[in-house]
Amino acid sequence: MHKIELPKNKVLVEAGQIGRSAYFIQKGIVRAYCEGKDNQITFWFGLEGDFVFSYNSYINGLPGYESIELLESSVLYEIKDEALQRLFLEHTDLANWGRKLAELELIKLEERYISRLFKSASECYAELLKNSPGLIQRIQLGYIASYLGVTQVTLSRIRAEIK
C-alpha cells in the first residue's frame, strides 16, 4: 500500500471503467453514486476506517456501475487489486479479513435495502443521525437527500420535524 493525498471532488472510480485499486480511508469521506435520468443517486458513504473499491471491477473484472468521489480532501492508502489478491493468497489471516469485510458490507447493504422497503424517509434519517451523527455535518444535504431517496425540500421538512 502507499499513502496518497487527494483533493476534494476527485473521482477515485469512474462509472463504466474498471477500477484497478482499493483504498483505505485514513482521513476524509467519499460517496458512491450512479447517474440517474436527471440526477446523481448517492447510495453509499465511506468514512475514516472504511475500505473503498468497485465491487464489480474487483470481483468480476468488469467496469463498475458506480462513481466514487471524495467529498473532502482526503488521505488514503491505495493498494492495487493484483497486490491485494496476492496478499489474500499468501496470508490466510488477510484472506479471512477480506471475507469478513465482504460479509459486513453485505449485512449493511441488506439493512439499507430493508429500511428502504419498510421505513419512512423520516425514520431512515433518524437512523442515519443515530448511527452516524458526524456524517450530517460533513456531507451536503443534497447528497443526503439522494441517499434517502427524497428531494432536498422533503429533507428540510424532515429535519425541521426532528429538531
> What global pTM score does this model have?
0.88
CATH of domain 2-118: 2.60.120.10
Q: Are 54 and 13 in contact (CB under 8 A)?
A: yes
Are 115 and 124 in contact by the 8 Å Cβ rule? The answer is yes
pLDDT score recorded for residue 85: 93
What does the pLDDT read at residue 112? 86
Is residue 33 within 8 A of residue 69, CB to CB? The reply is yes
Q: Which residues of the chain have pLDDT under 50?
A: none
pLDDT tens, residue by residue, 9-47: 999 999 999 999 999 999 999 999 999 888 899 999 999
Cα angle 12, 144, 76 (rounded to 5 degrees) comes to 30
By the 8 A CB rule, do 122 and 158 touch?
Answer: yes
